[in-house]
């Protein structure tokens, strides 16, 4: 970073107590990760107060600290005293972002697909920019994660891909201007966090706040297009805000036939599953047609790919460069991770998070697999409010209609969901659920199983328990 403390203080309108003529190498909020040259921001949380660790971080090499409580004794390093550390951190990040010229800077939000699109864009841009692409790490996409990501910007970086999430109206409006993107993407609209947002319309409004990060005119907005009568169509909520920008629509070709105000489009023409993922044929309004071999399965990922290709083509990359970059893409753990520990056993680990739309998309991926028996382990979906029961039942009905042979469910609605499906097992015991799956595998000629739930459901426990059984069986066979 190499940011002079005096300049940092000016950017956040703070006064430095002590020597301001030093350089800050990193801004950190976790006392465990402090190194020499860092500025430590003492956040106050529900369980931990960063002020309790000031002496420790100074001993570790912190050269300055940012506080909201005046120190009880003299400090050996300079400090800044502010009213709100989180807001100050955000202001600091916005100021640091403005010191860097990057192209593109892409800001991504949406109910589903944010991380997939982010990782595909990171990989795609790497074909041009190598490792000079700043991208959100893990799930650091909230009021702290976004500014901390921006504060990682280096002078040698050429582009940035930032993910932003929200569960209330107003959150993205606060964060988007810090990023100052020239391209903003909404991946999809669904009922994720509907309990917190209050309604589907509020989700559309909340996600549409991403456009507030674009310049006053001349930005690029990449918007999802669904059937005009769909409840997930957000166009009417966004079109006024998008009037000053270049709008690229993406989605299935069937929904792009009637232009509702966009200047360009990228559409999915055809997709076919392959051993490595899928082959997707895309058509565009401005850049010709192309076919991409994507190492990620699922029709919803083909739709995400269309959004990614829209950004990359608009950023000047060729179809060839896009394919080269996407050859490097790999999703983080728990996102449609395919595990095949034994012959004719396919485990789809999609345990990172869930809502009704992503559940249905994952079931589609399950049913594309070559197997004689299909099982679905369904963990609870969180933050759905009053719609929770209806949405869980919708997923169960979808699984049954798709051809799933057995449902296993955890959570307080597990029993009623199994009764609705007609057969299966309800349990909060990961080992018991894994044992049912293991018996299915031994009795059937081949098994494909999807394991999915919200983060709070911790369904990776079922994945781990099933893998242990498979590894034990494989070890026994090796020793014979």
For the record, the structure tokens of 296 come out as: 């990620």
Range of the domain at 370: 337-479
129/251 same-domain check = yes
Q: Would you say 165 and 118 are in contact if contact means Cβ atoms under 8 Å apart?
A: no
Q: What is the mean pLDDT of residues 9-15?
A: 98
Q: Would you say 23 and 37 are in contact if contact means Cβ atoms under 8 Å apart?
A: yes
Q: Would you say 300 and 364 are in contact if contact means Cβ atoms under 8 Å apart?
A: yes
310/229 same-domain check = yes
Locate the DSSP E strands across 300-363: 337-342, 345-350
pLDDT at 479 over 80: no
Q: Is the peptide bond before 104 cis (omega within 30 degrees of 0)?
A: yes
Is 143 part of any domain? Answer: yes
178/315 same-domain check = yes
111/71 same-domain check = no
Locate the DSSP E strands across 79-175: 79-81, 105-109, 133-135, 159-163
pLDDT at 196 over 90: no
Digit-coded pLDDT (tens) for 438-461: 999 999 989 999 999 999 999 999
For the record, the structure tokens of 237 come out as: 């909520």
Q: What is the mean pLDDT of residues 184-210?
A: 92
Query: What 8-state DSSP symbol labels residue 382?
Result: P
Digit-coded pLDDT (tens) for 358-388: 999 999 999 999 999 999 999 999 989 899 9
Is 378 part of any domain? Answer: yes
Nearest-angstrom CA–CA distance, 360 and 366? 10
181/138 same-domain check = yes
For the record, the structure tokens of 223 come out as: 């918007």
pLDDT given for residue 50 in this prediction: 97
Q: Which of 269, 270, 257, 465 minimizes the C-alpha distance to 349? A: 465
383/419 same-domain check = yes
Is 453 part of any domain? Answer: yes
Report the number of secondary-structure helices (H) and strands (E) in the chain. 16, 22
Digit-coded pLDDT (tens) for 339-352: 999 999 999 999 98
Q: Which of 292, 326, 360 is the last residue of a domain?
A: 326
Is 86 part of any domain? Answer: yes
Nearest-angstrom CA–CA distance, 109 and 136? 12
Of the ranges 4-8, 75-79, 259-263, which one carries the lowest mean pLDDT score? 259-263
Q: What is the mean pLDDT of residues 49-67?
A: 97
Q: Which of 334, 309, 270 minimizes the C-alpha distance to 462? A: 334
Per-residue pLDDT band for 477 (boundaries 50, 70, 90) equals low
161/200 same-domain check = yes
Q: Do the strands 290-294 and 16-17 form a parallel or antiparallel pair, or are they unpaired?
A: unpaired
Nearest-angstrom CA–CA distance, 57 and 54? 5
Nearest-angstrom CA–CA distance, 364 and 300? 9
pLDDT given for residue 224 in this prediction: 97
Q: Which of 65, 91, 117 is the last residue of a domain?
A: 91
> What's 76's domain CATH number?
3.40.1390.10
Handedness of CA 20, 23, 26, 31 (dihedral sign): negative
Of the ranges 126-135, 189-198, 349-358, 419-428, which one carries the lowest mean pLDDT score? 189-198
356/410 same-domain check = yes
Digit-coded pLDDT (tens) for 282-307: 999 999 999 999 999 999 999 999 99
Is 114 part of any domain? Answer: yes
Q: What is the mean pLDDT of residues 13-33?
A: 97
134/205 same-domain check = yes
Digit-coded pLDDT (tens) for 100-112: 999 999 999 999 9
State how many domains the chain has: 3
pLDDT given for residue 167 in this prediction: 87
Question: Across the strands, what pairs with 426?
Answer: 409
pLDDT given for residue 358 in this prediction: 92
**What's the burial of 351, exposed, middle or buried (CB within 10 Å: 0-12/13-18/19+)?**
buried
Taking CA atoms, 32 is separated from 40, 50, 51, 89, 238, in Å, by: 11, 11, 13, 19, 43
pLDDT at 480 over 70: no
Q: Which of 91, 115, 134 is the last residue of a domain?
A: 91
260/406 same-domain check = no
pLDDT given for residue 211 in this prediction: 98
């Amino acid at each position: 970073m190499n940011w002079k403390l005096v300049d940092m203080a000016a950017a956040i309108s703070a006064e430095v107590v002590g020597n301001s003529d030093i350089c800050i190498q990193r801004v950190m909020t976790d006392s465990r990760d402090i190194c020499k040259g860092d500025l430590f921001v003492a956040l106050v949380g529900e369980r931990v107060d960063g002020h309790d660790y000031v002496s420790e971080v100074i001993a570790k090499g912190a050269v300055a600290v940012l506080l909201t409580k005046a120190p009880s004794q003299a400090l050996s390093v300079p400090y800044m005293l502010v009213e709100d550390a989180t807001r100050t951190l955000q202001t600091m990040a916005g100021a640091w972002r403005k010191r860097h010229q990057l192209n593109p800077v892409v800001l991504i939000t949406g109910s589903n697909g944010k991380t997939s699109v982010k990782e595909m864009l990171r990989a795609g841009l790497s074909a041009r920019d190598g490792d000079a692409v700043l991208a959100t790490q893990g799930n650091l996409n909230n009021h702290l994660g976004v500014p901390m990501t921006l504060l990682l910007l280096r002078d040698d970086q050429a582009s940035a891909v930032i993910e932003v999430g929200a569960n209330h109206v107003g959150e993205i409006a606060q964060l988007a201007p810090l990023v100052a993107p020239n391209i903003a993407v909404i991946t999809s609209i669904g009922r994720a966090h509907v309990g917190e947002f209050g309604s589907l319309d509020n989700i559309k409004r909340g996600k549409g706040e991403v456009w507030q990060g674009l310049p006053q005119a001349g930005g690029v907005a990449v918007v999802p297009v669904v059937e005009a009568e769909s409840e997930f169509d957000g166009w009417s909520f966004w079109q006024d805000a998008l009037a000053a920008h270049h709008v690229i629509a993406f989605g299935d070709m069937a929904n792009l036939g009637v232009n509702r105000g966009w200047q360009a489009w990228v559409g999915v023409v055809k997709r076919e599953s392959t051993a490595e993922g899928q082959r997707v044929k895309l058509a565009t309004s401005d850049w010709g047609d192309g076919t991409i071999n994507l190492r990620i399965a699922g029709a919803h990922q083909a739709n995400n790919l269309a959004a990614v290709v829209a950004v990359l083509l608009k950023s000047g990359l060729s179809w060839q460069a896009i394919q080269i970059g996407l050859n490097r893409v790999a999703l983080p753990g728990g996102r449609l991770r395919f595990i095949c520990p034994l012959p004719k056993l396919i485990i789809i680990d999609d345990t990172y998070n869930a809502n009704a739309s992503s559940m249905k998309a994952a079931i589609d991926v399950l049913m594309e697999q070559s197997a004689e028996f299909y099982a679905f382990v369904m963990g609870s979906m969180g933050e759905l409010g009053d719609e929770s029961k209806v949405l869980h039942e919708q997923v169960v009905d979808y699984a049954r209609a798709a051809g799933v042979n057995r449902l296993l469910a955890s959570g307080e609605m597990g029993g009623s969901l199994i009764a609705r499906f007609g057969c299966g097992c309800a349990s909060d015991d990961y080992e018991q659920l894994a044992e049912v799956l293991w018996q299915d595998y031994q009795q059937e000629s081949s098994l494909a199983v999807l394991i999915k739930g919200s983060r709070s459901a911790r369904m990776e426990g079922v994945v781990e328990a099933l893998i242990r059984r498979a590894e034990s069986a494989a070890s026994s066979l090796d020793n014979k």
